[in-house]
């Protein structure tokens, strides 16, 4: 059951991030090949970094289904969305993928016996790295530089998931609560521009 849930969430996270990557290509008015590339790099980028860091086989190399999903999503976005994509669509898709993938990344690390604290870190990296690569390749300012809450919701989702699992909650409950809380914070950041306080150097420097 746990493995089945993890697999479903993994594919869901990849598909959602792939859609956000394809939508970025749409905003940039790219061709279908670039749609697929952006979808793939956004969909599997974070999970690739996670697997390399924890010494696990890279998931999409072991299972070509992930690349197939990215390709299908990219082509569907290309055919059905065209080139007029509202920026809010990209933001909300990214928010969903962010929280789902934070739990997926933490769950995979946890299943391999990684220390719980590091599992939270792996969840956050899994959730954010693909989007960072997407923004760099697209030549747009990274959301990390906007001070808007982005990494924080990912850390929250992963931390809640890991904490609940350590307390004995099953995968379904831990994932649902982790995703919901992280998405609530990310949604607040999108709607009300929530952010952490900026650094202010001492007066006179």
Going from the first residue of the chain to its last (205 residues), give the mean pLDDT of each consecutive group of 10, the final group possibly shorter.
66 88 89 95 94 95 95 92 64 86 93 96 94 89 79 96 96 93 95 85 73
pLDDT at 8: 80
Q: Maximum distance among all alpha carbons in the chain?
A: 59
pLDDT at 84: 55
Report how far residue 131's alpha carbon sits from residue 31's, in angstroms, rounded to the nearest whole number: 20
pLDDT at 148: 79
- Copy the structure tokens of residue 41: 């790099």
pLDDT at 1: 43
Q: Considering Cα of 67, then 107, then 51, then 43, what sign does the dihedral take?
A: positive
pLDDT at 86: 66
Burial of 2 (0-12, 13-18, 19+ CB in 10 A): middle
Cα-based torsion angle of the residue sequence 168, 8, 100, 130 in order, rounded to the nearest 10 degrees: 130
Report how far residue 66's alpha carbon sits from residue 51's, in angstroms, rounded to the nearest whole number: 14
pLDDT at 83: 54
Backbone angles phi, psi at 148, to 5 degrees: -70, 145
Three-state secondary-structure class, residue 148: strand
Report how far residue 149's alpha carbon sits from residue 142's, in angstroms, rounded to the nearest whole number: 12
Write down the residue that tokens 């969430």 correspond to: 9
- Of the candidates 117, 104, 102, which has an alpha carbon nearest to the alpha carbon of residue 185? 102
Q: Are 43 and 14 in contact (CB under 8 A)?
A: yes
Task: Spell out the residues 6+ positions from residue 189 whose beta carbon is closer than 8 angstroms to its own.
Answer: 148, 149, 150, 153, 195
Write down the residue that tokens 């760099």 correspond to: 136
- Which residues on neighbouring strands pair with residue 148, listed in sequence order? 195
How crowded is residue 60: how many other Cβ atoms within 10 Å of its Cβ?
A: 20
Three-state secondary-structure class, residue 114: coil
């Amino acid at each position: 059951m746990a493995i089945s849930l993890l697999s479903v969430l993994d594919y869901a996270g990849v598909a959602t991030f792939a859609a956000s990557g394809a939508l970025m290509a749409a905003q940039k008015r790219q061709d279908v090949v670039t749609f697929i590339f952006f979808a793939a790099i956004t969909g599997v980028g974070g999970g690739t970094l996670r697997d390399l860091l924890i010494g696990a086989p890279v998931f999409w190399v072991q299972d070509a289904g992930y690349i197939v999903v990215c390709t299908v999503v990219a082509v569907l976005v290309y055919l059905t969305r065209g080139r007029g994509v509202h920026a809010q669509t990209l933001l909300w898709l990214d928010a969903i993928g962010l929280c789902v993938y934070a739990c997926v990344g933490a769950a995979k690390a946890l299943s391999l016996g990684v220390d719980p604290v590091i599992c939270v870190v792996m969840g956050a990296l899994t959730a954010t790295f693909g989007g960072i690569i997407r923004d760099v390749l697209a030549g747009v300012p990274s959301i990390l530089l906007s001070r808007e809450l982005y990494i924080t919701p990912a850390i929250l989702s992963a931390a809640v998931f890991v904490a609940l699992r350590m307390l004995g909650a099953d995968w379904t409950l831990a994932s649902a609560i982790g995703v919901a809380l992280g998405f609530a914070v990310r949604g607040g950041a999108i709607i009300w521009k929530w952010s952490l306080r900026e650094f202010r150097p001492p007066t006179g420097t």
